[in-house]
Structure 1
Amino acid sequence: MDFRLGNMTLIPLAFLMSVMLKNCIGQGYEPSCPVTETPDQTTEICFCIPESGEIFKWDIDCNFRGYGPNMPNFLQTDDVIGKLDFRYNSINHIQSYAFRNIPGLRELNLAEQHPVGNVSTLTVAPGAFHGLINLESLTLIRNRIENTTQVINPSTVDGLKNLKELYFFDNEIKKIGALAFAGLVNLEVLNLNYNYIASIHVNAFVGLNRLKKLFLTRNKLTRVDPGVFSSVTTLRQLFLNENQITEVAPKAFNGLRNLTDLRLNKNKLQSLDNMVIVGLDKREVFLHIGRNPLHCDCELKWLRSLEITPSGSCGTPKELRGESVVSFPTEDCGRVTAESSCIDDCPSNSGNKNDAFICALFSLAIAIAVPL
């Protein structure tokens, strides 16, 4: 029996399931749910969802089942498990090689573990995820992970060379150490929002050769230093909004030629040096600087040289409060802007002091020659 809606045919889910199982049985294999154990007699067994395709696999839902304190080793099967949802359990510890029996796993969700007793953190042993050679997405949100409470180090996510998405937000992380994610060579999305990160090592992101999105929203950063992001040249979106940033160093984003979305809104910036955009593509990047106490004067006139109008408004002086950062009056600023002050042309990195000195004199001559 089928049900028609316009040109679409809706087939009952039960019929689809029976067809999938029939196909498997017809090939001499009768699938059964690989999860047969529960934490206790009162807990409902995990829910198994079969998926057919070129390879038969299971999606397993084990959330709210009361597992703990260790990650169970009940998943011993020759079947391919595509997704394991293990949210809202009571895991205190994830031991080394905890998932070695399910190497085909592609998506693992360990969010919001709520350990029992006096234990308030989740410990992740070195090599905990070893063997997950096909894992593409790992979610560890809202866990106070013990060996990342102070600093993220390489052992936390070691061995996940095919991982594409890592969700690590809301874990009370304070620092990101050197080479913290060096083994994640295929990572494209890294979410570190809602932590306490105040320090990032200059080599923290080395090795992330395919990273496209980096989320650092709502942390404790107070400044952006040069070199921190220079190794992630594939980056397209960088979220630094809702921190406590008061200063962005010149050339802080140098090398990020593919960046199109830079978010610095909701910080404590009063000024922004024109050298900040060195290394960025001024024709492509959208600079978000709204909700900052920006002081609008001639030092911000360079923002008008960007092809995409940046968002943001003046915080001071009082008479300009609320004015757009690209439309406040600049009649008294002369004509020296980001495009006429040798930002891209001065040979400051050439090592030739004479050339740099001549260029500086040339810029000064222009400034003097322009009628006020």
Structure 2
Amino acid sequence: MASLEVTRDVGLTFALLLLLGTHIVRAEIIDAEQTDSFCYPESMKNSRRSCECTNVSASPWGASALRIDCSYKDYRVKDLSPVLPLYTDMLDLSWNNLDAVPIFNSITLRQLNLRHNNISQLTAGNFKELITLKELYLGWNSIVQVEVSSFEGLPHLQVLDLAHNNLHTLPSQLLAPLLVLSTLDLSWNRRFNASGVDLYSGLGLNWKLATLRLDACSLSELHLPVNAPLKELSLRRNQLKRIPNQLPETLLRLDISDNLLEELLPEDTVNLTQVRQLFIEDMPLLQSVVAHALDFDLLETLSFQNSRQLSHLDAEAFGPTTRTSKKRALRSLSFRGTMLRTFNSTLAPLFTQLAELDLNGLPLQCDCELVWLKQLPVQTKGRCYKPARIRGMLVTSARGDAFSCDTWPRWAYGLVVLTLIALSAVGIYLIVMGLRPHRGVTMRRKVGAGSPYARVTIEPNRQENPH
């Protein structure tokens, strides 16, 4: 009896698969006609304005799917048919002249790209007929206004890109209909200052959001729920003077580059215990990293690249010196383009375990205190700036005996030189004074009858004048 049921189930499964295959074949025949009408309409046939349509195998069953590329066609809304061909999986309408969102009808579309157009507003019902949509790209437009119901009817949307627009504020609970949204990009909306507003409660963000990008949004502060399961956060090019102290504890990647921090403190990173990747690049004001500011063990990638004012890294920046020998997760470290001149030798155990260490562009002081850097197994690309005899040479190429330290400090050498000059001047003065005659000695000439300077009187010759 059981074998009969198994046979019956196998037979039903085979019949369903056969029926599904027949349906797909028939759908492809219908789809071919619809494809021609959408991609190659009579008005644009055999011209550069016709779209490029490609059949591909889509997951999960490998069924045929249609991908339509209509980018760079100078299209307007009136040029587009509202009905998409059956099994359209992706539609690219970037780099056109669309001044509004085209209203499409499709039960298979998964990705819609409307980047680089002239769209200025989103209205209710723009996407309500695209219930299978998973990725929506609206970046690089001129969107100023968004109605509260603009994203209704998108229960499966996972990626939403609103970057590079002119958004100032967003309606309350705008994103509440997006139940599975995992990536949100609001970057480069320069007047979108969300200071003091909890984006989760304000916009209705769901708790499945994993990636949030808020670059160049004029943020001076930010509040996010500590218990939100956010994995990646980008806050580049804002006006933050400190790393926000209220960030989700689950963050794995944080980019705080190009903000207004002057020094990195332990309180800035105290809540970043789970972070694997930390980027503190292009900081215009950052000058120092103080002790314990980077004392967390799970960090794998750390970059200070192009923070051109950074000149001080505390010997205990990564924790107490007694713990530097502890095995850490850090594998990639970049100080490229900073002003660091030397590194304390207590960092040697940490630097030794790195797979990548970038010191390119640093004005390194290659002396006896930095000779340990030459022994690292990884190529650092660091070059010596001083002393002058090895300037420009790679740390790994310079001879070890060139990494020497003077016994006396430099100021002592200057003092010795000045003393010698002063002593020489005194000696010359004394010699000159010794050769001069004494003030009491007077040179007198001998005056008298026997003196060669005596007066001579010439008597007239009496014989010539007898009278």
TM class by shorter chain equals 0.5 to 0.7
Matched, 1:224 2:221: yes
The yes-or-no answer on 1:282 pairing with 2:285 is no
2:178 aligned residue (184, 187, 192): 184
Mapped contact 1:176–1:197 kept (Cα < 8 A): no
SS where residue 291 of structure 2 aligns? helix
1:289–1:312: 8 Å Cα contact kept in structure 2?
yes
* Residue identity matched to 1:257: E
2:240 matched to which residue of 1? Answer: 245
Give, as a single letter, the amino acid of the residue that structure 2 aligns with 1:217.
Answer: D
Residue 136 (structure 2) aligns with: 138
- Return 103-112 or 28-37, whichever deviates more: 28-37
Within the candidate set 108, 111, 126, 1:107 is matched to 111
1:156 to 2:150 alignment: yes
Which residues of structure 1 form unaligned runs of 5+?
1-21, 115-120, 332-372
1:265 matched residue in structure 2: 257
Partners of 1:288 and 1:52 in 2: how far apart? 38
* Residues 47 and 146 of structure 1: CA distance in aligned 2, closer, same or farther (over 3 Å): same
SS at match of 2:89: strand
Judge conservation of contact 2:54–2:66 (CA < 8 Å) in 1: yes
- Alpha carbons of 1:205 and 1:75: their partners in 2 closer, same or farther (altered >3 Å)? same
| Paired letter, 1:244 | Q
Residues 313 and 323 in structure 1, CA contact (< 8 A), matched pair in contact too: no
Q: Which of the residues 97, 111, 117 maps onto 1:90?
A: 97
Max Rg structure: 2
Q: Structure 1 residues 268 and 132, CA, compared in 2 at 3 Å: closer, same or farther?
A: same
Q: CA deviation at 1:329?
A: 12
Q: CA deviation at 1:104?
A: 1.3
**Structure 1 partner of 2:73:** 65
Secondary structure (helix, strand or coil) at the match of 1:158 reads: coil
SS for the counterpart of 1:301 is coil
Mapping for residues 187-336 of structure 1, pairs under 5 Å = 187-200=181-194, 201-202=197-198, 203-221=201-219, 223-225=220-222, 228-230=223-225, 233-249=228-244, 251-253=245-247, 256-271=248-263, 274-277=266-269, 280=271, 282-292=273-283, 293-294=285-286, 296=288, 300-308=290-298, 311-312=303-304, 321-324=310-313, 327=316
Is the contact made by 1:70 and 1:94 (CA closer than 8 Å) also made in structure 2? Answer: no
SS of aligned partner of 1:49 = strand
Distance 2:43 2:280 in 1: 53
Match of 1:46 in 2: 51
Matched residue SS, 2:145 = helix
Aligned-pair CA distance for 1:105: 0.5
1:28-56 C-alpha deviation (Å, 9 max, x unpaired): 94541525255955663322222356444
Distance change >3 Å, CA 29–CA 312, structure 1 → 2: closer
Contact residue 98 and residue 117 of structure 2 kept, 8 A: yes
Question: Residue 216 of structure 1: CA displacement?
Answer: 1.5
Counterpart AA for 2:52 = F
RMSD: 3.8
Higher relative contact order (CA closer than 8 Å, sequence separation 6+): 1
TM-score, length of structure 2 as denominator length? 0.52
Amino acid corresponding to residue 102 of structure 1 in structure 2 = S
1:130 Cα offset (Å)? 0.7
> Which residue of structure 1 aligns with residue 374 of structure 2?
none
Provide the rounded CA distance (Å) in 2 between the counterparts of 1:289 and 1:270: 12
**Structure 2 unpaired stretches of 5+:** 1-21, 321-467
1:32 match: 32
Q: TM-score, normalised by structure 1?
A: 0.64
**Aligned partners of 1:209 and 1:232 also within 8 Å:** no
Q: Structure 1's 230 and 326: CA in aligned 2 closer, same or farther, altered over 3 A?
A: farther
Kindly state the Cα deviation for residue 136 of structure 1 after the two structures are TM-superposed.
1.0
Aligned residues: 285
Cα 1:180/1:25, change in 2 over 3 Å: closer
